[in-house]
Amino acid sequence: VAWSKSAIYREWLACALRPTPLFTGGWNLPPATGLERGDFRCAVYSNLPTPDETAPVAQTGYNTGEWQGGGREITNPPNWLNGGPVMTGHGTAGGFTSAGGLITFGADNTVSDGPVTMSGIFGDLVFHAGQPLGPPNAPYVQYQGLCFHYYGGPAEVDGGTFTVVWPPERVAQIQFT
């Protein structure tokens, strides 16, 4: 069964709410040198993964669980590398809002660094590129996923710019009902 829905990982919320050691996954944390605190990436995938928003934390990271294995991640170096582009429009640029019944994770659209040729793209994984391994963050997983998005069918680009256009609800949104 291929994936068919978009969702926020339960463990992303749990790690933030629990948090035994410091949780460094804040959407508005400032970026540090390289892929550290505050950096999120958007990796794109074929229809082989079957992501599960209730998966244990160890299976929610980039290159873990459903996100590992041949033929799953789609890339086209050098303009769409493994892990996808670093997302913009969050961190010190904002993007996080909390108002009314909604908590929203906003960001700019994610764009390839240049022309790419990719096909069979069925969705993406948005993950935190700054999550380190080991203590003091042992309960977490490296490159922990925030959420995944199913595109509803295959998307492709042939020698052009590939853009992930976030909907009005943005990258992720939590609703209080």
Partner 1 sequence: MPWSRSAVFRAWLECALQPRIGWAPAPSTRWAGGWNLGPGPLNTFNCSLWKDTITPDETAPIELTGFATVGSVWQFFNADTGNGMDSTWAGGKPDNGEAWPIGGRLIPGTGQEGGFSSAGGLITFGGGNPVSNGLCTMALIHGDMVFCLGIAPIGPPTGPVQYQGLAFHYYGGEQRVTDGTFTVVWPPEGVAQLQVI
Piece of 17-25, 42-50, 66-74, 124-132 that binds partner 1 (CB under 8 A): 17-25
Give me the 32-71 binding string for partner 1, x by CB under 8 A, dash otherwise. -----x---------------xx-----------------
The answer for residues whose C-beta is within 8 angstroms of residue 25's C-beta and 6 or more apart is 12, 15, 16, 128, 131, 144, 146
Q: Cα 135 vs. chain centroid, distance in angstroms?
A: 23
Work out whether 17 is an interface residue with partner 1 (CB under 8 A).
yes
Cβ at position 74, least distance to partner 1 in Å: 27
Q: Binder to partner 1 among 2, 16, 133, 138 (CB under 8 A)? A: 16
Number of residues that bind partner 1 (CB under 8 A): 29
Residues 74-113 that bind partner 1 (CB under 8 A): 96, 98-101, 103
Work out whether 174 is an interface residue with partner 1 (CB under 8 A).
yes
Please, is 162 exposed, middle or buried when counting C-beta atoms within 10 Å of its C-beta (0-12, 13-18, 19+)? Answer: buried
Cβ at position 102, least distance to partner 1 in Å: 8
- What are the tokens at 110? 């994610």
Q: Cα 78 vs. chain centroid, distance in angstroms?
A: 20
**DSSP state letter for 161:** -
